[in-house]
Structure 1
Amino acid sequence: MGTQIRFEARTWQVSGLVDGRVHLVADDGTTGCVLAAHLVAADGFEVLGQATLQVPAAPVWAALPLPARERAMAWLRHIREVETGLPDGPGSGGELRPEYDPQRFTLAEREHAKAKELAALGWTKVSRPTVQRMRLAYQRQGLLGLVDKRSLRASSPSGRPDERVVAAVLEALRQRRGRRATTVKQVIDLAELIVTETYGKGRVRLPARSSLYRLVRVLADPAEPPGSPARTATSPDRAGGGPPALRPAERVHVATARLGIEVVGEDGRPVAVSVIAALDGATGCVLAAVLHPQQATPVELSVLMAEMAVPLAMRPRWQEMLQAAHEGLPERLMTLPARLEATAARPAAVPETLVFGPAAAAVTPWFLTVCESLGVSLEAVPARQGGMRSVAGDTVKVLAAVFTRHAAEVRAAARPGMRSQDNMARQAEAFFSLLHLQDVLDEWITARWHNRPQQALRHPLLSKAALTPDEMWRVLLGVAGGCVSFRGCHFEVSSGVTRGARA
């Protein structure tokens, strides 16, 4: 949001990212919308850098009180009139009022005229310095610079104590974690001792005891508040697994399953195939699925990470290869134009935490370096541990079984003369090459699996309706916020994700 780009010989600003489409705003107020994959592949496309946000992020703007938004929009017209002479800016075609003519009056004179006009309209405490201050704030911060700063103050659950006190309380809670006899008073005493030892006696002003009590209760772990019995690590939580994923790409689980189909190997012999998939824990979306011959050694995660981070539409010559694949196999779930558009909007992300089983996936030193540079945390889960990993493993097994039936149907449709029930499955095993079957899998995930309702996916306001992974992605992406930053060639939503290709 707010990134300035060069596209079609014009300078634009990114004002929104929705379903793989980039919404743009030009300097003269012209708006546009273009597919992200088409935008970044266009000739002359260039990212000019992070400019001043002229358009605030939608969640930030929507969270402001209505009177604050209305007053900011009113100031916007007045500031534009002072700067350009027209209330709606250059190119609006409005009528130029004589007192704001840039050819006749200086900027200071136009600011003075605007202050007199606003005072006559009933605006209080408006002078020429006020108009100048608002104009400069708009140049630095865009529309948010015109908002009353009291409306931008975010409330904190811990109130307004000194940050050093908050850090000391958190450290005291960490040191006392797991102790059965811990009380709130003991946490407060330990926090005061930490403050004194760190900053010196009397250097940091401590809040009242009542405030410290509230602060400890707010910052304490709800599952283990002070005074509760300690949780031990001798037995796993019966609820299962690690922490739940609350936003897209927060926790991505890696699981593998065998396919009931064989492909034609390089030597012409049938080869058994498995699929390793990266499943988003919050939405159920398959961020990556890679077919590989069955082998005793674990599969390297580097290929899977590349599949997640780089959408298909961003890869060189992908459209040409897809067109050739469509010509080679006429029976398709989607037409070529529909496939291109759906693939551009398919979820793609770099995970925050990658959960995997050491027996199924291998981690190399080079891959660890890549994860460190991208800010990806790795979490190795033992094979016998329950929870989300077992759920992800079961889901991938279901995916493999359903796709095996689909692949057999595709093979039967391509060769309608061979429909013997006793040998059709084995004949299907030797029909595809590995790359051909990978293309069929990618199409099937986009067209069918992401649009297949799952009982575990529920909207908070529609608890009786099972959502599809694609619908759940959209719901949680909206809840997580639309603030999108760019780091390298992947998206983040306040350290997470978006849909489509990079921008």
Structure 2
Amino acid sequence: MGAGKLPVLRVGEWVRFDGDEHQVVALAGTSVRLRSRGGVAQVVLLAFLLAAADFELLDEQQAVPAVEPLGLLETLPHEVLERARRWERHLVEVVTGRAPEAPEGAGPRPGYDPAASTLKDRDAAKAVELSAAGQPTSARTVTRMRLRYAEQGLWGLVDQRYTRGSDPVGRADERLVTAIRAELDAQTHASTGTRGRLMRRVRTALDAEHGPGVVPIPGRSAFYELVGVLAGGRHSFGAATTRRSLANRPVAPFTPTFATRPGELVQIDSTPLDVMVLLDSGVPGRPELTMVVDVATRTIAAAVLRPAGTKAVDAALLLARTLVPEPMRPGWSAALRMSASWLPHTRLLDIDARLETAAAKPVIVPETIVIDHGRVFVSEVFTRACDRLGISVQPARKGTPTDKPLVERQFSSIASLFCQHVAGYTGGNVTRRGDRITDEPLWSLPELQDLLDEWIVAGWQHRPHDGLRDPHAPRRAFSPNDAYAAMVAVSGYLPLTLSRTDYLELLPVHWRHVNEYGITIDHRTYDDDAPAPRRTLHRR
């Protein structure tokens, strides 16, 4: 049902296109032949013509109607929508001369025959009819509603009071709103306080700027409600770390970290692990986890646990681990072999023989690595290792963890998916920590490292990830191994192998005196014929 017939492009119609007026002189399939008022002829595709920014059908009797916002119509109160539909029935009769509910074959009612009256006359007749029915209406109102219906459909007949967007702060004084927003902004780097503190500070700021009592402050409940609206999404009264992190987000619109092939972009970072372990000294302590994450596939390319205080050489060795296949360990299930996974093992094995006994975790060859400004990652040892391995270093902005969000989020995933199931779990903060953790049997650091390595292969690499989706099948989430199998088929695989000398160069350097019995490192003695000429010599 509508105000008129559906517009149709016909031969003889005039259209506006390409900055000029043209007449349609011929139609052939999806092609339209046009002739401008200056006599210039051209043939264009119908889709191109209709998509042109300045296209307009110039026939006044065939105005192109807008599609009604059906979703918004469903949100209206029933009585409001019914009122609009009653107006629609009246206007259809005004335009066509025949009411929608009229019997088939019935002619126009007196005063509404298009052959005997003008639109203006029918507008006036409808105004008289509505006024007599108890709905005072002028002819000008009918005309206005008819034009809105022709342009917007049923939505144009809806009471405008129900279509206006509401102001989230209501009728609050603008000076009060400005003062609250200023105080909320000031709390970004301050310690978290209460709404009561905010209320006192706002009152003080308003009195200082406008004079005591000039700007009225609403009651406590109304003030708190207004603050709740203005502080939405700021974490003004929550964790200070979250508040600062939110403040560091780039101004929208921004492009998220994105990569199209394995190794194109990786991120590295360290954090204390939420698990107590038994250190070599026999004292319980929290190890530090350093991890490399591949952006394209979300693969945990390497993850190493060290006692608190990761050194630069540890991070350098971590890079070397990304280039080496994860070996199968004694006791691991045969289902964890790469040959038993979705990874293209046979094709990769032809290129890299090291994959014959590898576990189901891909080898990531980093091209660019994103680091923060921690002393480990800006050290000469780490940067020279990246240079030696041909990896570009991309420093993140200071105080901006959102520059490497994937590895930051991965730490949280490891805490919830792995750490909480391990003996010695400490929780994310002291309020979540048990009081008898050290009474439990704790894993040693090497044992926990083996558990983590196995979980990465068996759990993480096969777990569907919400950030890995095919644009052609967005409902399906892919696992890191699935994503790698799809991408490596396009980007290829070129292994980078390190020699024995390369690994020795990446090892930490410790100066030791060569005694008659050999060298002592960490209370262990090592001896060989090679250092014999250096025995008992002192370093100069």
- Please give the TM-score of this superposition, normalised by the length of structure 1: 0.40
Q: Which has the larger radius of gyration?
A: 2
Structure number with higher strand proportion: 1
- Please give the TM-score of this superposition, normalised by the length of structure 2: 0.38
Higher relative contact order (CA 8 A, sep 6+): 1
